[in-house]
Copies of this chain bind each other. A is one copy, B any other.
Amino acid sequence: MAEYVRNCWYMAAWVREVPEDGFLARKLLDRSWLLWRNPDDSWALVEDRCPHRFVPLSRGRFADGRIACGYHGLTFDGTGACVHNPFGHAVPDTARISAMPVVERHGALWFWPGDAGRADPATIPDFAFVESGPATGKSHYVMGVNYELIADNLLDLSHAEFLHVESFGTNGSLFSHGAQTVVQDDTGAIWNKWDMTGAPPPGWALPMLGEGATVDQILHIRWHAPASLALFIRMTRSGGAEVIAEMVNPHILTPETQHSTHYFFTHEPGPEAEAMARRVFLEEDEPMIAAQAEAMGDADFWVLKPLILPSDAAAIRARRRMMQLRRAEQ
């Protein structure tokens, strides 16, 4: 499996996932971490592992922004410093746990696993839209596959015609009326834009549009390294400004391990809307990507010599960008 890119912002959690007066334990990039809000309202992200005998600190007791190990009682604060030894002896400075920069932005918490001196919050990808619009439900789901396979899936939306034919399919208009554009914007994001012009409308929109009407549709997806994506959908009456449907959603992916991924998404409020979003991931995407992962085993994507089609342009560009970032960090 390919190395993680370190000098990059990753999403750790939604703010609402962290309990009041407690901590959230989460595995990120193969290591275990604790995330909590300090008494001064700043955030702490420290390693969930005591340097004495390596047990998870999450088995200990948390209070007032400090966690005491449940095995022999060493206590650490949100900077990772050891602030108490029950035996009273001084504790060497080396008795600290790792900590990572963490920043709150638009209801999400972002961390930087690389060189802390290079962590500039201005480069966190823009997901301001999650604080407006109808998709106010913020959820999280762990998918049992590598994050780059999920990014591949999202960067080639033609899979909807096969995998989501019963839910999000476009009746083939992607193939019959679609034009694809792949661009990089000045934030470094790679966009895969499908524009369908003068296409037959979906069945549910027919009564609204009248006989013979056609629609223009955009299906644009934006990717920031390592795998923070946003999906923009809009349908208008052909040649007009009347918006028939519009949607924008984050699909933010953070590796839990090389074989599992935190998938952060939004949906309209309420458990039914969440269940529907989750069902598509669970029943349509995950089994296919898991079958792909099993078939690939531990082999590298490129070593397997995948067949590359013109429609893969965006996914391939994103994978090449990841290769450049990895090379730069070696």
Residues of A that sit less than 8 Å from B by CB? 32, 49, 51-56, 59-60, 68-74, 85-89, 91-92, 94-95, 152, 156, 158-159, 161-163, 172, 175, 287-288, 291-292, 295-296, 304, 306-307, 309-311
A306, B52: Cβ atoms closer than 8 Å: yes
A161, B309: Cβ atoms closer than 8 Å: no
A53, B152: Cβ atoms closer than 8 Å: yes
Which residue of chain B has its CB nearest to the CB of A180? B87
Which residue of chain B has its CB nearest to the CB of A311? B87
State in angstroms the CA–CA spacing of A54 and B292 once bound together: 6
CB distance from A9 to the nearest CB of B (A): 27
Which residue of chain B has its CB nearest to the CB of A32? B295
A307, B52: Cβ atoms closer than 8 Å: yes
A88, B49: Cβ atoms closer than 8 Å: no
B55, A288: Cβ atoms closer than 8 Å: yes
Q: Which of B53, B88, B158, B162 contacts A175 (CB 8 A)?
A: B88
10 interchain residue pairs of minimum CB distance: A51-B307, A54-B295, A55-B292, A52-B307, A95-B307, A86-B175, A56-B291, A87-B311, A55-B291, A54-B296
A87, B158: Cβ atoms closer than 8 Å: yes
State in angstroms the CA–CA spacing of A217 and B77 once bound together: 34
Determine how many copies of this chain the complex contains.
3
Which residue of chain B has its CB nearest to the CB of A96? B307
CB distance from A153 to the nearest CB of B (A): 8
Which residue of A52, A56, A69, A309 has the most chain B CB atoms within 10 A of its CB atom? A309
State in angstroms the CA–CA spacing of A140 and B213 once bound together: 57
State in angstroms the CA–CA spacing of A292 and B73 once bound together: 15
Q: Which residues of B contact A152 (CB under 8 A)?
A: 53
Q: Which of B59, B68, B87 contacts A310 (CB 8 A)?
A: B87
A72, B306: Cβ atoms closer than 8 Å: no
Which residue of chain B has its CB nearest to the CB of A310? B89
Which residue of chain B has its CB nearest to the CB of A296? B54
Q: Which of B69, B158, B287 contacts A162 (CB 8 A)?
A: B69
Q: Which residues of B contact A307 (CB under 8 A)?
A: 51-52, 74, 91-92, 94-95
CB distance from A308 to the nearest CB of B (A): 8
A59, B161: Cβ atoms closer than 8 Å: no
A71, B159: Cβ atoms closer than 8 Å: yes
Q: Which residues of B contact A296 (CB under 8 A)?
A: 54
If A54-B304, A54-B306 touch, whether A72 touches B288 (CB-CB below 8 Å) is: no
CB distance from A97 to the nearest CB of B (A): 10
A70, B295: Cβ atoms closer than 8 Å: no
Q: Which of B53, B70, B288, B306 contacts A71 (CB 8 A)?
A: B288
Which residue of chain B has its CB nearest to the CB of A56? B291
If A306-B54, A307-B51, A311-B87 touch, whether A70 touches B292 (CB-CB below 8 Å) is: no
CB distance from A34 to the nearest CB of B (A): 13
CB distance from A57 to the nearest CB of B (A): 10
A72, B310: Cβ atoms closer than 8 Å: no
